[in-house]
Structure 1
Amino acid sequence: MLLRLIDAVSEWTGKLCAWSLFAVGCFITYEVVMRYVFNAPTIWVDEVSRVIMVWSVYLAAAFALKHKEMVVIEIAFRTPGTLGRKLSDSFAIVFMFVFATVACYFGFELWLKSTLAGHTTDTYLALPKWFTHAPVWLGSGLLTLQGIAELVRVWTQVPEAASSNTGAAH
């Protein structure tokens, strides 16, 4: 039940990030037209696009892990379900888990400090810094949760390659 909830949140945020990046493409196209066709550049496209891209990168990491789209090198442990593969996958997830947990902890500290102090960006829009710092700890926290879910799956699920070969008659 908990694994399905983590998966659902990762799936939803991943799709949201994909659509957000599509929106960034539209914003940049709009900026190009405004700047070069109408000679009337905007003041918001650059900063809004950057903020959306930062949110998208951090929140999409859990989606990428869920769909096994992170960088994977399978030279030594290609066969799913073997002890070596399970240990290799576990090591990679634990390594990522340590990184994501540290980023979540310190990202939260930075977010809390800027929220309590009321800091804003040094730009024309003067966005609150809490809004630009939040994706670090939220995305890292979600990546940590998805990492826990994937670690549980490494040791409890039958690998797809092994399960698909069991019913085949040769």
Structure 2
Amino acid sequence: MASVVQKFVQTMDAVSEVTGKIAAWLFFATGIIVCYEVFMRYALNSPTIWVDEISRILQVWATYLAIAFVLKSKAHIVIDLAFRDPNSLGRKVVDTFALSVIIFFCLIVVKYGIDIWWKSTVSGHTTDSYLAVPKVFIQSSIWFGFGQMALQAVAEIVKIWTWSPDDLPKQTRVH
């Protein structure tokens, strides 16, 4: 049983690492195509019709792909006044409660995100632009990202209760 749980934690950490890197590259690509648009618009006086929408889609996907990576890396804002020691029972309980709230919120977003995504998929909704990109591409990022974040939060709870403090990321140990 312990090996299955450890495999789950390792798999989620690996998936979050990969999606975090993909998100970084998507943000980079967004920057490149926005620079291209600026050049085309102001230097050549020939704006494009695709950069605005494509850059938005890339940013949405990058954001939702990055949220599990941020949770895994403990790179979000943390304010701890009372529970500084990661070994203390109080800190473990508080962190578990916070992650449980995250899981609850993520599951709500996944449920309603899938409902909206499915409705758009069946109806064939597209964006109101010249490109008319199917909304399926944009809306799927929401439930995918939050689903991954919920799974990563479960993995973080397992780490809190089973890993030694030396195995935890540096950000967890030093607050």
> TM-score, normalising length from structure 2?
0.90
CA distances 1:51-72 after superposition (whole Å, capped 9, x unpaired):
1101111110000000011221
Alignment counterpart, residue 55 of structure 1, candidates 61, 81, 85: 61
Matched with 1:92 is 98
Stretches of 4+ moved more than 3 A in 1?
none
In structure 2, distance between residues paired with 1:57 and 1:106: 18
The answer to whether the Cα contact below 8 Å between 1:80 and 1:161 also exists between their aligned partners in 2 is no
Amino acid at match of 1:54: V
* Count of residues in Structure 1 that have an aligned counterpart in Structure 2: 163
* Cα drift, residue 110 of structure 1: 0.5
Alignment counterpart, residue 86 of structure 2, candidates 80, 91, 100: 80
Matched with 2:152 is 146
CA distances 1:5-47 after superposition (whole Å, capped 9, x unpaired):
1111111000000011001000010000000000000101110
In structure 1, distance between residues paired with 2:167 and 2:110: 34
Q: Does 1:105 align with 2:111?
A: yes
Matched with 1:167 is none
In structure 1, distance between residues paired with 2:153 and 2:30: 28
> TM-score, normalising length from structure 1?
0.93
Matched with 2:166 is 160
Secondary structure (helix, strand or coil) at the match of 1:160 reads coil
Unmatched runs of 5 consecutive residues or more in structure 1: 165-170
C-alpha spacing 1:161/1:138, structure 2 compared with 1 (3 Å):
closer
Alignment counterpart, residue 38 of structure 1, candidates 23, 44, 47: 44
Matched with 1:25 is 31
**Superposed CA RMSD:** 1.5
In structure 1, distance between residues paired with 2:66 and 2:144: 11
Matched with 1:69 is 75
70-79 or 46-55, which deviates more: 70-79
In structure 2, distance between residues paired with 1:99 and 1:70: 17
